[in-house]
Structures are given as C-alpha cells and as structure tokens.
A and B are shown apart, each in its own frame.
Chain A
Amino acid sequence: MPDAAVALAEPPEEVEAARAVLSDLRRARRRQRTRDFDPFEALYRVYITAILSGIVIWLASGITGDTKVPAATAAHVAAHDAQWVGLVVAVAWAVGLRSGGQGGPLAIEAADVRHVLLAPVERSVALRPVAIRQLRFAALVGSGVGAVAGLLAFRRLPGGFPAWVVAGAAVGLLVMPSSLSLAMLVSGRRLGRYVGGGLALVVLAWAVVDLVTHVTTSPTTFLGQLALWPLRTRLTALIGVAVSLAAVAAGLTLVPGSSLEAAERRATLVGQIRFAATLRDLRTVMVLRRQLSQELPRRRPWFRLPRAGRWPAWRRGWHGILRFPALRLARLAVLGAGAGAACVGIWRGTAPLVIVAGLCMYVAGLDAGEALAQEIDHPDRRETYDLANGELEVRLLAPSVAVMAAVAAVGVVTAYLVSGATPLAAELGGVMFIPCALTGLAGATISVVQGAPANFSSATSALLPPEANGFRAIFRMVWPPAVAIIGFLPLFAARHLQPGQGTRVGRVAGLQPLILILVVLVAVWVRYRDDIHAWFAKTMEEAKAAQRPAGPQR
C-alpha cells in the first residue's frame, strides 16, 4: 500500500484550478464520445425532429385557423388575453417550483455525483456550468416554441409577422429559463416538496385571480403583456421581464446548495427514463417518473376492504386503487376535466381538440390500469398463477373501469359547467362518458400489455421488410392513443347533424355500439393474445420448415 494514501487531501487551491480540472474531464469525455459519433444517425435524428415539429405546427395551425379575426375581437384580445398568456406562464413556473421541491431540475450523471460532488471542489464550480447548460437549452427550446406561437398568432391577429415572432420568441426565451431557475432556487434552498408545491399553487392562484378579475398584478400576467406587444405595447410588461431575469439570477446563485441526495436519486432515474423513452417503453417511463416525483402508494389505504371476499383479481385491483396517493387522484380529476373542456372546444368548432380529449383519457387510463400493469411488470409471478395470463388481465381491468368512469364523470361535469350549463352538454355527456372511459382504458391497456417494442430479430419482425417494420413501429406507438381518441368521434357526427336527421343525442347514442365493439375487440385481444401469438409462431415455423430444402439423403 502506498504510504502517501493517508493524508488530508489538498483540494485545488483556486477556483480556476478546479474549473480547469473539470474542464479537462469534460473534454476527455467528449473526445471518447465523439469517437463513436455517427453523422448519419445525427442527420436521421434531425430529420425525425423536423418531421415531428412540422406535424406539431400543422396540428397547431388547425387549432388556431388562419382567418383574421374581426377588429372587435382583436381589441378584446389586446385588452384581456394577457391574463390567459399569464396563466400559461404561471403553469410553466408552477411546474418549475414543483420540480424544485422534488430536488430538480439538475440532471447530473450518477458518476458526477460520486466523483465530482464528493470531491473537495466548490459546488458552485461543479454545478453552475451544468445549470448554465440546462438554461441555455431551455432558452433555445423556449424561444423556438414561442416563435411558433407568435407565427400562429400572426395568422389570426393584426400586426406584423416579425413583431409576432419576436414577441413570441422573447416570451419563450424568458419563460422556460425562468421556470428552470425557479426550480433551482427551490432546490438550492432545499425548501422541500410541500413548500415547492405550495409556492406553485400560489403562482397559479395569483394568475387565476388576474384572469377572473381582469386585473394585472401577477408577474406572469405582466409577462403575458409582452406576448401581446404587437397588438398593444405596454411598458408594464417589463416588470415581467425583470422578475424573470431576477429568477434566473437567483437560481444560478442558489443552485450550488442543491441536495446531493436528490441529485443522486435524479441521476439514476433521469438516465433510466431517457433510455426507456428511447425504447418507447411508456410503462417504464411512467413508473420511473413516479419514482422521480416520489409518488409512492399510500402505506395505509384510503379505507380497507372487508377481509372476506371472493374474486381475488377484483379485490387485488381495488387494493391497489385504494392506495393511490392524493396526487394521482388529483391528476386523474384534472385529466377528466381536461377531456371535458376539450369536448366543449370540439363542439364549438376546434376539431383537433379531439386529440387532447383522447390523450387525457389515455393518460388517465395508464394511471387507472395500475393493477394490470403491476402484473405485466412481474411476469415471473404471473406465470405461477393457475390462470391464463389473458384471463387474469381482463379480470384485473374491472376495477379500473370504475375509476375511469369516475374520471369521465368529472369530464361531464366540467363540460356542463364550461358550456354554460347547457342541458345538451349533460345529455351528450351522459351518453358518451362510459364509452369514452372504456376507450381510454382500452388504449392504455394496449400500451401496457404490448410493452416495449420487441427487437427486430423477433419472429414477426424478421418476416417483414425493413420499411414495413418502420410502419409497424409507428403503428404500435400511435394505435393505443388512437383507440382513446375514437371514443370521442361520435361528437362530430352530432355536431354536423343536418335538420331532419333526428336528435343529436340520438345520433351519438346510435354510434355507441360501434365504440363498444372496438372495446370488446381489445378485451378479446388481451384475453387471447398469447394464444394468437403462439398460433402465429407455430404457423410461421411450419411454413419455414416446408420451404427448407431437403438435406442430403443418407
């Protein structure tokens, strides 16, 4: 053993020296990474990103339309819509504050936590460059999203193209980094999840008060004024700018105080989430995200089921649901409300909101189908049951249907209120809420049951040409949310009903059997998919054997 080992470390004497060491470390790592750099893969990623961005912009264009609004409407927007933009800003800030309470937003590698943050190097030297990199990226994304939003606003509202794009980009440039900085501020001060969550609620409530009372007091509303500068230039918008910049400065100042415990937890989970997202493994992403936000099942259920009872799968499902944390229940309610509000938007003519409504129910279905997902997560345990996998899975879905019905009921109430308490909203909701709950759950169930995509050497994939495999991969990704969206399509039939074709409620009710057939087909697929796969594999094997040339005769 070298005798110099036992001696107090002498950390790099100057901050600059430590910075140089870290800089060398990053340079060496970059060198190693660029050895494996594949320019074609990078170009492919750019290509995919461009296509996806184009699709998003196209969908967003569909939502906003492209005819200029009347002058009166433009005046109304200039007078009141800063509050709406402010609410969006408040949501972004609330997300940041909540993330900070959970130890975010820095995503430091696990090895950096162990080797750099445990070394006698000032945390400011170790963490601030990471924070600046994240802020830089957030600024880039924010300004891009803001510019697109400005572009869409330009198509409907008076004002010059450059003015709208610049105003949108400026707001995005401020909002995303300030949201990230608020997270750094909360985590750097170690304020904890309750304070972080509480501050998030305060920011949201303040923005809602501004919206409801038509006043401008919240910094988020002031920032909203900046977005509408092409319509009306108000210098008070600079208050929002100043607050955002102050948040960035405070975040960067305080970020060295972040907890290592949270950093290490995030280091492991963020890496896993990215990997699972790359594989399009939605279930894993969801489980890891819950761990990241420490969304754990309750140790004590909301209430206990009676001890005795038959139907173990039904009881197992309820045991899990009764341990849902309050946060998950609140999320389910918000998703239900989101679906309901989107339905009102569809009825008023914004057709693409059907995607929002479907996605709300799909995501709710992913939460509600937890019991089934748990069994899928533990295939070894499942194999020990004296019951076909498919049969167990279908039985486990029954309690989830009840949860989804409750989520959809929240949607109906929301639609009724948002529509101005019209009886038609309640009648349509009454007819549609169960089928929409079922299609949401069906879509989520397909996602969970199919799991991560199989590799291309699997029996089915090997038989398909590469182009077909690409389509198959996209189909796998798109089909589950599409099932959830299909549940809302009868709304269009009712909306476009011509006089003399019956009642709107009757039209929607008449289409429900088709929706229910789809749900039944999904249930049958879940129940018998193992048998179908086995039959398919056997058939393929027999076909291959028949095509194989006979060997030499002995």
Chain B
Amino acid sequence: MSSSSPASRASSANRVPPAIRARGLTKDYGDLVALEPLDLDIPEGQLMVLVGHNGSGKTTFLRMTAGLLDPSAGSVEVAGEPAGSLDARAALSYLPDNPVLYDDLSVAEHIEYTCRLHGAMDWEGRAVGLLDDLGLTSRADDLPSRFSRGLRQKTAILLALIRPFEILLVDEPFVGLDPGGREAFVELLDDVAAAGATVVIATHQLEYVTKADRCVALRDGALVYDGPPGQVDVLSLVG
C-alpha cells in the first residue's frame, strides 16, 4: 500500500463506489428517535470523523453499520453488501468504545482466534509488531480480565487492527488510554489511513478532527454538518 495525502485520497475516492452507503437510515426506540433518516456516502479510502454531543447518534450509526443494531427504517451497505452480511463482516472492523473480551483467554489466545476466525494469513509477525507498538508484549500471556481499562482498550485496538479489513469503524477510541497509548494509536490510525483503508472515527478528541478528510456532525440524531473539517467551528458542533 502506498501512502498518499488526504486530499489526493479524497479525490481518488470520489471515483469509486462508496465503502459505506446509508439511505434513509433510521433508528428509534418507540417514540425516542436515536437517528433521524440519514443519507450518507463514505467513499473508499476516506478518513472521516463523526462528531456530536452525547446522545447525538454517533454510536448508533456506527453500530448499525457494524451490524450490531437493526435499523428501524432505511438501509446501510458496507462494501456494496448489506450491513451484517458475511461479506460486510469480512470487510469491516469495528472498534467499540467499551472493550469486550473473553475472561478466560490470554491476549495471545485472543489474537490467534481473532485471526483464525477472520482467515488472516501470516499474522504472527504482525502480532509481534502490534504488541510492541501498543506496549503489550510483556502482557501477551496474561488474561485481559485482570487488566486496567486502558490495557483492555489497547487489547481491543490490537484485535481490531490485527485482522484483515478494508473499513475501520472506531468509537471514542481514546477513552482510558494514557498519553503514550494515545500517541501510539494515532500513529496506527495514520498508518491504516495511509494504507488506503476507509476509516470512520467517532470522537470528542478535537485535535484529531483536523487530520480527517471529512467531518460529519450529528445533533439529536440529525445531520447538521457534512464537509471539510477546516470550514467549521468543530467545538460548536460537539456542543
């Protein structure tokens, strides 16, 4: 994969079908609307940040795209396939805001089974690199159930990145990470984006917004901004 600037990636991305396509995507819980009908195309290779205050619908959008939530109406496609389908699951890696790990598997065992479940090839070498990048090398044989929140988050990051994917969805990734961990993760995200993956990050971390090709803001479940991050006061969007 060759590295490219956000601008060139964005322009080339416009010529290919979208990695994620939402049409009238809606989620409600009775009379509580979590996401109003949303039309959104995210081209391949784009680095997009999703901003909005608490309860704006960011996580709802990501979880529906990952196939974890059923839309109330509308549809969302991932790599041209319905979200949650076999091919969509193969293409998409989802890093949630709360790491969920097996209590009775070590980090190394998590890695092994994640890679095997996803049909990853030659993963051992990459695992060594990622363990090193995230400072988990010495903890590879430990059970994550005994980890702090930050270490569990790092393990979840590792598992999201070790498997093959074309699209990466990340929900509030910096929660619980120490400054070193944050820095390492930002570098890893830069690498993923540079390698051509489509990356969607829901975050309150404003310093990361400027790195993105595109900023989408939600408020109370509705789209309130969609454009380059430099043209808007992001602080006003995240409330």
Q: Using CB atoms and an 8 Å cutoff, list the residues of chain A in contact with chain B.
A: 1-13, 18, 21-22, 24-25, 28-29, 32-33, 109-111, 113-116, 118-122, 190, 259-261, 264, 299
Contacts and interface: CB of A to CB of B under 8 A. Distances in A.
Given A6-B196, A8-B90, A28 B84 contact: no
Contact of A24 (B67, B90, B113): B113
A33 B102 CA distance: 11
Contact of A28 (B109, B126, B192): B109
B70 A261 contact: yes
B196 A120 contact: no
A13 B101 CA distance: 26
Interface stretch (B51-59, B159-167, B208-216, B223-231): B159-167
Nearest to B67: A260
B105 to A, nearest CB: 6
B119 A10 contact: yes
Q: Give the interface centre of B66, B109, B113, B196 by most chain A CB atoms within 10 Å.
A: B113
Contacts of B143: 32
Nearest to A264: B68
B232 interface: no
A261 B188 contact: no
Given A8-B90, A115-B117, A120-B119, 9 more contacts: A7-B166, A8-B166, A18-B117, A22-B117, A24-B116, A32-B104, A119-B114, A260-B68, A260-B69
A4 B196 contact: no
A4 B115 CA distance: 12
B166 to A, nearest CB: 6
8 contacts: A2-B130, A6-B192, A8-B91, A9-B165, A114-B100, A115-B114, A119-B117, A259-B70
B225 to A, nearest CB: 28
A120 B86 contact: yes
Interface of B: 1, 30-32, 66-70, 79, 84, 86-87, 89-91, 94, 96, 100-105, 109-110, 113-114, 116-122, 125-126, 129-130, 133, 143, 159, 161-166, 187-188, 191-192, 194-197
Given A7-B166, A24-B113, A114-B96, A120 B89 contact: yes
B113 A4 contact: no
A488 to B, nearest CB: 40
Contacts of B116: 12, 21, 24
A215 B162 CA distance: 63
Contacts of A260: 67-70, 84
Contacts of A120: 86-87, 89-90, 117-119
Contacts of B196: 6
Nearest to A36: B104
B124 to A, nearest CB: 11
A261 B68 contact: yes
A3 B1 contact: yes
A11 B109 contact: no
Contact of A1 (B30, B113, B195): B195
A28 B66 CA distance: 27
A5 B165 contact: yes
Contacts of A190: 70
A7 B91 CA distance: 8
B119 to A, nearest CB: 4
A299 B31 CA distance: 9
A295 to B, nearest CB: 13
A307 B166 CA distance: 57
B90 A9 contact: yes
A7 B90 CA distance: 10
A37 B82 CA distance: 43
B92 to A, nearest CB: 8
A166 B129 CA distance: 61
B70 A9 contact: no
A25 B115 CA distance: 12
A119 B118 contact: yes
Contact of B89 (A12, A21, A118): A118
Contact of A6 (B1, B100, B110, B133): B1
Contacts of A119: 89, 114, 117-118
